[in-house]
Chain A
Amino acid sequence: MNKQIQESDFPNPEGHWELYWLPHQAMVRRTRRLASRIKLLKLEMSTKAAFSYFPGQFIQLSVFGYGEAPISICSSPENSNVFELCIRDAGNLTHAAHDLEPGDRAGVRGPFGHGFPMNQLKGKNILVIAGGIGIAPLRSLIQTTMANPGDYGGISVFYGAKKPADLLFIDELENLNAEDRLNLSTIVDEPDRQWPGRTGVVTDPLHEFKIGDPENTAAVIAGPPVMYRFVLMKLLEKEIPEDQIYFTLERRFECGMGKCGHCRLDDVYVCRDGPVFSYSDLRDRREFNEIKQDED
């Protein structure tokens, strides 16, 4: 410890710090409205440097003058220089991002964080549990498993949202369901007249789901904090091992690499050490348990 900074530790002005600290240019290739306040943006990196990512990682998207915001990558990493972002219009940056048109440019830093543990998921049956826009990072995971079907066991997607219109990517999920490539259960809280499906919360279909071999089953969860506690209780009830339950956590990410301090959860920086954590990692962390309590 108490190591003194050596001359060699200082960054070379021609070094690699720009990769982390300066946004790189990306061109908007396509935009598509998914819901009233949610848009899908397809971006292509303009830099020659390789850009690769894993499902569950995020980038920091800049629209210069409007700031920067962390956005999960929601596409498959197969063609990594082109990627998709699912953006909800909620603040200045995301509002400006909604105004971007094909041909416009934006800034991208990253990718940051650790994604889903795809290696640990290999060979396992996977329960994919999503709430609302939480489907975004999970879509990247689903697409990865679809592209490598032999590597994984059965994929079951439980997707809950407030209203039917809030269910994103529903066509592609239903197509995969129809092709029997995954098993999809959707459920909404506030149905409209056209809604043919179930009403309730995402734990309902999860409750009914029969898990044959919990030891060989993993669960990945993304959604609003309020959902975590109930989903977690259900999964533990079904005897899924604690280290095979993965959450992707939301926090305020400004720098993306464990410096700015906003995303601290006890002794971890969620941006740097997560945003994907197993429940066994989180179980004893005070600030994680308190969030669960706050939601009561």
Chain B
Amino acid sequence: MVIKNFSSKPRAAFFDFACCEGCQLTVLQLDDRLLELMAHVEIIEWRQVMSGRGDKYDIAFCEGGVVRNEDVDRIRSIRDRTDILAALGSCASIACHNSLRNEWNVEYAIKHVYGENAGDFDLIPVRPISEVVEVDYQATGCPVSLKEFVTVFEHILTGKIYRPPNDPVCRECKQNDYVCVYEKGRICLGPVTRCGCGAACVAHGDACHGCRGLVDDANTDAVFKALEPKSRHTIMEQMVRKNRLTETDLMKKLSIYDPPKKPENGKE
């Protein structure tokens, strides 16, 4: 009764573009469950763990962002040689930290980082792979969440469409009964950030930094409004006073992973 998406054991591969390779490391932390997953696929290429090379793939997991012209060619070539392309992590899905460079033009950035003797860098504005080629599956997060990776894998193997969660982190935070980060006097991007991580950062005593990107109708204006003195919640009041938080600080925080689109987000 199970509908298998593949007629024989699918050949899978992992690739990386500009990234820290942390998502692949995270996947390796699956330990025993990794073996369970691997029973369903044959890994034919994964630079981080083996030396083999493949030619055609059924499933390609790609980590990282597109930052050079040659990356564009490479991701297109992978797209051509694979049935299913899955973006692994935020760099591949929403450009993540890499895209901070997009605030400057490429020439300035090269000079600023490498000085006058900078060699021949073929840099282009940073894009997630999903903006260059069609992506079939997406597991966001910095790094990718193991639970979500397993879920995406399950969806690929059984031919299900995977829609990345579009509810805010508050959903999982409340469901796990964590104390609201604002109550602890810190700012948290949970209310406007996509969930799917199980509120992992909050679970470990941190705040949400928004690594999974904004939800579809994120009301980022409301995040600023909440800071206005006349509409401040008691908890917000304490938080603002404790951190001497300004709108600029907030904008910077929001811009790390997925800068809000101007002028307005979503519908009222």
In the complex, how many residue pairs between chain A and chain B have their CB atoms under 8 Å apart?
20
Instruction: Give 12 pairs: A residue, B residue, CB < 8 Å, sorted on A.
Output: A63-B3, A65-B2, A66-B3, A66-B158, A91-B161, A92-B161, A95-B160, A95-B161, A96-B3, A96-B159, A104-B1, A105-B1
Contact, CB under 8 Å: A66 / B160: yes
Interface size class of B (residues with CB under 8 A): under 10
How far, in Å, is B84 (CB) from chain A's closest CB?
A: 15
A104 and B2 CA atoms in complex are apart in Å by 10
A64 at the interface (CB under 8 A from B): yes
A99 at the interface (CB under 8 A from B): yes
Q: Beyond the given A64-B1, A66-B160, A96-B3, could you list 13 further A-B residue pairs with CB under 8 A, ordered by the A residue number?
A: A63-B3, A65-B2, A66-B3, A91-B161, A92-B160, A95-B159, A95-B160, A95-B161, A96-B159, A96-B160, A99-B3, A104-B1, A105-B1
Closest residue of chain B to A98 (Cβ to Cβ) is: B3
Closest residue of chain A to B161 (Cβ to Cβ) is: A92
Closest residue of chain A to B3 (Cβ to Cβ) is: A99
Considering the complex, which residues of chain B in the window 1-18 have a beta carbon less than 8 Å from any beta carbon of chain A?
1-3
Q: Chain B contacts of A92 at CB under 8 A?
A: 160-161
Closest residue of chain B to A106 (Cβ to Cβ) is: B1
A99 and B5 CA atoms in complex are apart in Å by 11
Interface string of A51-73 (1 = CB under 8 A from B): 00000000000011110000000
A113 and B2 CA atoms in complex are apart in Å by 30
Considering the complex, which residues of chain B in the window 130-184 have a beta carbon less than 8 Å from any beta carbon of chain A?
158-161
How far, in Å, is B207 (CB) from chain A's closest CB?
A: 30
Contact, CB under 8 Å: A65 / B161: no
How far, in Å, is B14 (CB) from chain A's closest CB?
A: 25
Q: Would you list the 9 A-B pairs with minimal beta carbon distance, nearest first?
A: A92-B160, A99-B3, A92-B161, A96-B3, A105-B1, A65-B158, A104-B1, A66-B160, A65-B2
Main secondary structure of the interface of A (DSSP, over half): loop
How far, in Å, is A99 (CB) from chain B's closest CB?
A: 5
Q: Chain A contacts of B160 at CB under 8 A?
A: 66, 92, 95-96
A123 and B106 CA atoms in complex are apart in Å by 77
A104 and B1 CA atoms in complex are apart in Å by 7
Closest residue of chain A to B4 (Cβ to Cβ) is: A99
Interface string of A157-172 (1 = CB under 8 A from B): 0000000000000000
Q: Chain B contacts of A91 at CB under 8 A?
A: 161
Closest residue of chain A to B2 (Cβ to Cβ) is: A65
A95 and B161 CA atoms in complex are apart in Å by 9
How far, in Å, is B97 (CB) from chain A's closest CB?
A: 33
How far, in Å, is B5 (CB) from chain A's closest CB?
A: 10
How far, in Å, is A23 (CB) from chain B's closest CB?
A: 13
Q: Chain B contacts of A95 at CB under 8 A?
A: 159-161
Q: Chain A contacts of B158 at CB under 8 A?
A: 65-66
A234 and B48 CA atoms in complex are apart in Å by 67
How far, in Å, is A91 (CB) from chain B's closest CB?
A: 7
A104 and B3 CA atoms in complex are apart in Å by 11
A65 and B161 CA atoms in complex are apart in Å by 12
A296 and B95 CA atoms in complex are apart in Å by 37
A91 and B1 CA atoms in complex are apart in Å by 18
A105 and B160 CA atoms in complex are apart in Å by 18
How far, in Å, is B105 (CB) from chain A's closest CB?
A: 43
Closest residue of chain A to B162 (Cβ to Cβ) is: A92
Considering the complex, which residues of chain A in the window 68-102 have a beta carbon less than 8 Å from any beta carbon of chain B?
91-92, 95-96, 99
Closest residue of chain B to A104 (Cβ to Cβ) is: B1
Closest residue of chain B to A91 (Cβ to Cβ) is: B161
A92 and B151 CA atoms in complex are apart in Å by 14
Q: Chain A contacts of B1 at CB under 8 A?
A: 63-64, 104-105
How far, in Å, is A118 (CB) from chain B's closest CB?
A: 36
How far, in Å, is B12 (CB) from chain A's closest CB?
A: 21
Considering the complex, which residues of chain B in the window 251-268 have a beta carbon less than 8 Å from any beta carbon of chain A?
none
Closest residue of chain A to B154 (Cβ to Cβ) is: A65
Q: Chain A contacts of B159 at CB under 8 A?
A: 95-96
Closest residue of chain A to B155 (Cβ to Cβ) is: A92
Q: Chain B contacts of A65 at CB under 8 A?
A: 2, 158
A92 and B158 CA atoms in complex are apart in Å by 10
Q: Chain B contacts of A105 at CB under 8 A?
A: 1
Interface string of A103-128 (1 = CB under 8 A from B): 01100000000000000000000000
A2 and B160 CA atoms in complex are apart in Å by 45
Q: Chain B contacts of A64 at CB under 8 A?
A: 1
How far, in Å, is B217 (CB) from chain A's closest CB?
A: 16
How far, in Å, is B1 (CB) from chain A's closest CB?
A: 6
Interface string of B232-244 (1 = CB under 8 A from A): 0000000000000
How far, in Å, is A22 (CB) from chain B's closest CB?
A: 17
Q: Chain B contacts of A99 at CB under 8 A?
A: 3
A91 and B162 CA atoms in complex are apart in Å by 10
Closest residue of chain B to A64 (Cβ to Cβ) is: B1
A105 and B2 CA atoms in complex are apart in Å by 10
Q: Chain A contacts of B3 at CB under 8 A?
A: 63, 66, 96, 99
How far, in Å, is B221 (CB) from chain A's closest CB?
A: 23
